[in-house]
A and B are shown apart, each in its own frame.
Chain A
Amino acid sequence: MHELSLVLSLLEIVEEQASRAPFEKADSLLLSFGRLSCIDPQALQFAFSVQARGTRAEGAVLRFDIRPVTIYCLHCEKELSPPFFTGACPACGGVEVVLTGGTEEMKLIEMEVDGC
């Protein structure tokens, strides 16, 4: 259920941006977060469609740049990108691995706006 809190913060950022460089309407928002950050795009979309009503972001399209899971395997000596983190290397099966990406917190990267 953190999607609701994330959307409320997101809408605040949109308003803050509009107060700095005025625009009428946000048409799309590009969001980035890690695959392992437990953010559900569908829940986010739903929370957004409800919370954005009556704001300048109403009807905006949410676009997602979901950052992949990456691990570094100390045995293979390289970075790999498995679909999930299991604690083991998908290539050699070794467990000497370090999680290097996939837990990035949500960022608003860019917006397309109208009526500047």
Chain B
Amino acid sequence: MKVRVVQNVLDANDRIANTNRALFDEKNLYVMNLMSSPGAGKTTLVERTILALRERFRISVIEGDIQDTCDADRVAALGIPAVQINTGGGCHLDGNMVREALADLNLDETDLLIVENVGNLVCPAEFRIGENDKVMILSVPEGADKPAKYPLMFQEASVLLINKIDLLPYVDFDLAKARRDAQAIHPGIEIFEVSCKTGQGLEGWIAWLTRRMETRRTG
């Protein structure tokens, strides 16, 4: 007998993500899910963002890594509450892992929760965690062909940071193509060109994030 189902295979994860989101909304906090390849500059962006916004907002961080705590240690060194999730080989965070990590954070004392996903351009795009925005970094040494190769990630992200632009003179990175392909995959995606090392261009990102948080928190 044939049984018609038509159900998203990741429905179970989506249900947990929705429960997370309801909790975030109730606590009036804004959650961003930060995704990129390994080594694109996620933790450096987290540090830069903390330094720019720590006077205005109470920030907490969840760090997802396959193993070790060095990213969480970097964040904790700034005096920011940080929880490390070790996926033990898993290539992405899912709704349930984030749910369990929330128990170690004081959400009543948090305005901005940054979740740094496992470095990977494939799997994190599929697994919602209840975030308000997915934020993506593409660093110029990776090459301008990444949007065309990993379109789902670019489709899911609200904003794309093209990082390490201080290296543009030394690498073959077709900035126009990267921007064009990202727009072809996700018309209207916000794009900022930044260097998390030198700080160049970060003011646009910080202004965007602040605007998103304020829009979210006022209604």
Contact of A105 among B1, B9, B180, B185 (CB under 8 A): B9
Q: Which of B3, B126, B187 has the most CB of A within 10 A?
A: B3
Report yes or no: B8 in contact with A105, Cβ–Cβ below 8 A: yes
Report yes or no: B151 in contact with A13, Cβ–Cβ below 8 A: no
- For chain A, which range describes its interface: under 10, 10 to 19, 20 to 34, or 35 or more residues? 35 or more
Interface 1/0s, chain A 63-97, versus B by CB < 8 A?
00000000100000000000011110000000101
Say yes or no: A13-B7 contact (C-beta < 8 A), given A87-B147, A110-B2, A112-B1.
yes
Can you spell out 26 A-B residue pairs with CB atoms less than 8 angstroms apart?
A5-B90, A5-B92, A5-B127, A6-B10, A9-B10, A9-B11, A13-B7, A13-B9, A13-B11, A17-B3, A17-B5, A23-B3, A38-B152, A84-B148, A87-B177, A97-B184, A98-B184, A103-B155, A105-B9, A105-B126, A107-B6, A107-B9, A108-B5, A109-B5, A109-B6, A111-B5
Chain A contact residues, CB within 8 Å of chain B = 1-2, 5-6, 9-10, 12-13, 17, 21, 23, 31, 36-38, 71, 84-87, 95, 97-99, 102-103, 105-114, 116
